[in-house]
Amino acid sequence: MNRNDANDLEFSVDPQSLKPLFQTHAVRHAMAMAMDWAFIFSTIILCNQYFNPFTYVLAVIIIGARMHALAILMHDASHFRFMKNRKMNDLITNIFTMYPLFTSIEKYRDNHLRHHRHLNTEEDPDWVAKLTKREFRFPKTKQEFILTVFSYLVFYQGVLDAIWFLKRFQSAKGRASTNTSHKRNRLIFTLLLFTLLTVGGLWKYYLLYWFVPYLTTFFMFQYIRSVAEHFGELAYDHLLTSTRTVKPNLMERFFISPHHVGYHLEHHLYPGVPFYHLPELHQLLMSHEEYEGKAHITQGYLSGLLNELSKAR
């Protein structure tokens, strides 16, 4: 299945209806980023004020979820759906999402665009890399899947994923000038962060409220979302059955599926549509009989997705 895109569909979508959905609004993206960081800092302040084991575990869950939300915004920016100025698009995204998550948008983009061009084939780096990992082998029983999710909460799987994740993106390609610029910017960011943490005596808080969520709930939510996108009970025989759209409930939207990332099938059809227009794109596509009848749409993560992943072998 090479070069899966909207041109493979047997129905046509009115270009005039699609055109407004490709419009980007940098302020909407920036506000979403600001809200995610506001949640993170508010959670840290409140947990520190009312610190006990329960509030700390809750803080780790919320912060990991918002880290994941920031990564979703970076994903939009990797398609240049944030700012029209591409250098500023990447610089601001790196400073406020990717450098704090220990990598860069340039390294992610190389991998991700190949994933789009060669979806679920031997040339898809995401697909190939995940097929070698035990946690991406399906079907699983519900107990096996829940146990895998739990292994993130005790650091085991999160540490393994962090090593695997960072190792993969360290080998990503890119233009020499881009790499040089990225290395310089990242070094400046790291030095400033190190200075701030040292001078402010904040290392304890950085370890408690960034490293711990990063190595546990951040990768846990990323795992659940990654599984939902391309694994478990998918037919892979058509563009509309090679990934799924998951419609989350309110709680799932906050923790697992931020910024409309559940509309993954729509994203693969039209990757130029920014996240805030994906619900409208979904409604537009649902007006076509072929899409409504064939598209793989799952109702909820904890209900629909869990049942699909745990079908008997």
Question: Looking at per-residue confidence, does 33 or 121 come out higher?
Answer: 33
Phi–psi pair at 11, nearest 5 degrees: -120, 155
In the structure encoding, which two tokens stand for residue 40, read together? 């993170």
Query: Highest mean pLDDT: which of 16-20, 169-173, 306-310?
Result: 16-20
Which two structure tokens, joined as six digits, stand for 176? 């020499």
What pLDDT, on the 0 to 100 scale, is given for residue 19? 95
Query: Residue 218 has what pLDDT?
Result: 97
- Rounded CA gap, 226 and 129, in Å? 12
Report the first-to-last Cα separation within the chain, whole angstroms. Answer: 25
130-142: pLDDT as tens digits: 888 889 988 888 8
Q: Do the beta carbons of residue 100 and residue 66 sit within 8 Å?
A: no
Of 213 and 103, more confident: 213
Q: What is the pLDDT of residue 5?
A: 58
Residue 101 is predicted with a pLDDT of 94
Q: How many CB atoms lie within 10 A of CB 93?
A: 26
Cα–Cα distance, 60 to 208 (Å, whole number):
8
Residue type at 16 in one-letter notation: Q
Q: What is the pLDDT of residue 2?
A: 41
pLDDT digits (tens, 9 = 90+) for 33-55: 999 999 999 999 999 999 999 99
* Sequential DSSP letters for 10-48: SS---HHHHGGGG---HHHHHHHHHHHHHHHHHHHHHHH
Phi, psi (degrees; rounded to nearest 5) at 4: -70, 120
Q: What is the arithmetic mean of pLDDT over 271-288?
A: 96
pLDDT mean over 190-203: 97
Q: How many CA atoms lie within 13 A of 242 on its CB side?
A: 24
Residue 202: CA atoms inside 13 Å, Cβ hemisphere, count? 14
Q: What is the pLDDT of residues 280-310, one digit of tens each?
A: 999 999 999 889 999 999 999 988 998 888 7
Q: What is the mean pLDDT of residues 218-222?
A: 96
As a whole number, the mean pLDDT across the chain is 91
pLDDT at 312: 43
What are the two backbone dihedrals, phi and then psi, of residue 280, each rounded to the nearest 5 degrees?
-65, -40
Share of the chain above pLDDT 70, in %: 92
Domain ranges, ordered by start, for the chain: 6-309
If you average pLDDT over residues 135-155, what whole number do you get? 92
pLDDT band at 263 (very low <50, low <70, confident <90, very high): very high
Would you say how long the chain is, in residues? Answer: 313
pLDDT for position 236: 87
Task: Report the C-alpha gap between 219 and 162 in whole angstroms.
Answer: 8
For residue 38 the two structure tokens come to 């506001």
> Cβ atoms within 10 A of the Cβ of 160, count?
17
DSSP string for residues in 110-174: HHHHHHHHTTTSTT-HHHHHHHTSGGG-S---HHHHHHHHHHHHTSHHHHHHHHHHHHHHHT---
